[in-house]
Structure 1
């Protein structure tokens, strides 16, 4: 009998939105090759009726939701979970943000593995109500899931304060190794290989944008800092602060979703600056390692495990400025850090490793072995 898996908790595939969608796409295609039957629930912004399609052998269940934003996501998760109650096989839920709905699956006796993602309720961007919602759903997810996946050792340690450690498996996020890129894609931005460093993240306070831009802008660097992200300085005070703090050597190029362009920006950069202060295994940091970037990252337990001991770490703006002073012109250090990133990536974060670990875990929990 074929093993059957349904994936919940994401916007859908093919991937268009983020790390979980990319992971779901890669996992689905991998499992199809191993003779699994895979269903992925997909959120649609128009229509009134649920319908099904097939993509590369994966069954897609499309659920229309008229509401936008967080409310629309919650409604989609509700409808997807209700639909899943009539399905057979194993379930994989990516994220615990609406784990309260997964209680229905637990009551019915369905087997559900939940990837618990990061510690969402600790993020600065959320208000009290949102933090309370995430905190409660984290607790519920720990109970409702038959087994939990943590994407980082520290996330596993955190979850082990909620449930038995035997109920948790640590599997990180994966990425593609980038061995070449098109340098011609840099021309439109007026930058050249090795003459710029890059930040790629959502421009939020918890991602240390202001600290990194200020540190870089303290003096003339004869170097360009390229900043990717969707900035709206007219309507967002923090975005305005970041842009006002930037020297003329900081280049804001907006949000870019074309993978070849983003790969080129990583591959040809001198440094990748990563300011995330919360979370587990961050997909952008993994992708930077896969592109062989020399990494300068915020000094916390999450980044240090992912990037490894040969990356450079800063606690605050002055420390970041000192690292830039010391490292920007240090060719030996750059070469050593790039090599270390490649080694760290190959040791732990390649897709074949990650997908094989997921397949083993899901096979162990599948009711149709």
Structure 2
């Protein structure tokens, strides 16, 4: 297949989840003999035209000058270029800033779209923005030939809201089982002597609920908040919890080896995400041997099942901190490792994506032939 991948800032990954996914998937597709093109922002630090056998197409991205509006122009530039490439399949990762241009997508190519999370539920966006994102979601459905949902919750939403069928293919992760305690020494914590969370500091990630529970537990065990806190909401949280000196806002941790060790050696790992699909940080926590205490919702439960503890309120968080020791739940950790190996490994996810794109191409060809 000749495949174009749109919707990321580019590879190799220097930004986030979809970029990481595009990096893993594109490399795999090349090993299977496919001709793969990934669109990169012209501001991407990697400026070569190929990377590990993947063709890179740099397009003008004015986001650094125009802010969010620049994302729409970047996507427009990518789509206009894709019209000239004679792709068999165009794989779109997300839809928020691209679906308004959906009618311009190349007609010959089969359009497959990963529908991302329920972005219009994110409280960080204003109501007008959330209404637009909901509209963009509907546009993506009408301008795509096939849809991918990366969680059961997203799949159910697409069916219930639009009567749209989608293929469920989750995100992936690599199992981590090579801990080295020296990696956590810089954070002044002892193995299994601290609790933590990793998240963007946004309201829908339950950060405030979790930290309220940390305080009300009465325990003075260090709690690491990992994520960029140099935001308005981060400032609010730091001010609210400034008296709780055991809560440490340590910022983002981008060294994967360090982050894996922090997760591995934590006592409890809190995952408060309430919006989205198969959240990458959840799978990575499972793969790192963390004991999960997750927000009680369908997105998290469809992945964790009975191999986690759950919270809905700050009181639940406090109770977990007061009573739960990781050593009593090693069976949860082991079963979650097994899930990563059997269901969520990148090798399996990449294979599912390729097989689905092949099936879409075959089905579309049959439809065209009548």
TM over 0.5: yes
Q: How many residues align?
A: 358
Matched, 1:101 2:76: no
From 51, 54, 61, give the equivalent of 1:58.
Answer: 54
- The corresponding residue for 1:331 is 327
Residue correspondence of structure 1 range 242-261 to structure 2 within 5 A: 242-245=238-241, 247-261=244-258
User: Normalising by structure 2, what TM-score?
Assistant: 0.91
**Aligned mates of 2:24, 2:271 — CA distance in 1:** 25
Please state how far the C-alpha of 1:109 moved relative to its aligned partner: 3.7
Q: Aligned Cα RMSD in Å? A: 2.1
Please state how far the C-alpha of 1:237 moved relative to its aligned partner: 4.9
On the 8 A contact 1:5/1:37 being kept in 2, the answer is yes
**Aligned mates of 1:257, 1:331 — CA distance in 2:** 27
- The corresponding residue for 1:319 is 316
**Aligned mates of 2:326, 2:201 — CA distance in 1:** 28
Residue correspondence of structure 1 range 165-180 to structure 2 within 5 A: 165=164, 167-180=165-178
**Aligned mates of 2:237, 2:9 — CA distance in 1:** 32
**Aligned mates of 2:12, 2:265 — CA distance in 1:** 27
CA 1:250–1:318: 2 relative to 1, 3 Å = same
From 67, 72, 76, give the equivalent of 2:70.
Answer: 72
On the 8 A contact 2:291/2:326 being kept in 1, the answer is no
**Aligned mates of 2:267, 2:232 — CA distance in 1:** 30
**Aligned mates of 1:174, 1:76 — CA distance in 2:** 27
Structure 1 runs (4+) greater than 3 angstroms displaced:
162-165, 366-369
- The corresponding residue for 2:159 is 160
User: Normalising by structure 1, what TM-score?
Assistant: 0.91
**Aligned mates of 1:142, 1:288 — CA distance in 2:** 31
**Aligned mates of 1:325, 1:336 — CA distance in 2:** 20
CA deviations 1:16-43 (Å, max 9, x no partner) are: 1111111110000000000000000001
CA deviations 1:53-96 (Å, max 9, x no partner) are: 01111000011323423122111101001100111121100001
**Aligned-partner SS, 1:296:** strand
**Aligned mates of 1:129, 1:264 — CA distance in 2:** 41
Task: Please list every run of 5 or more consecutive structure 2 residues that lacks an aligned counterpart in the other structure.
Answer: 366-370
From 8, 17, 21, give the equivalent of 1:19.
Answer: 17
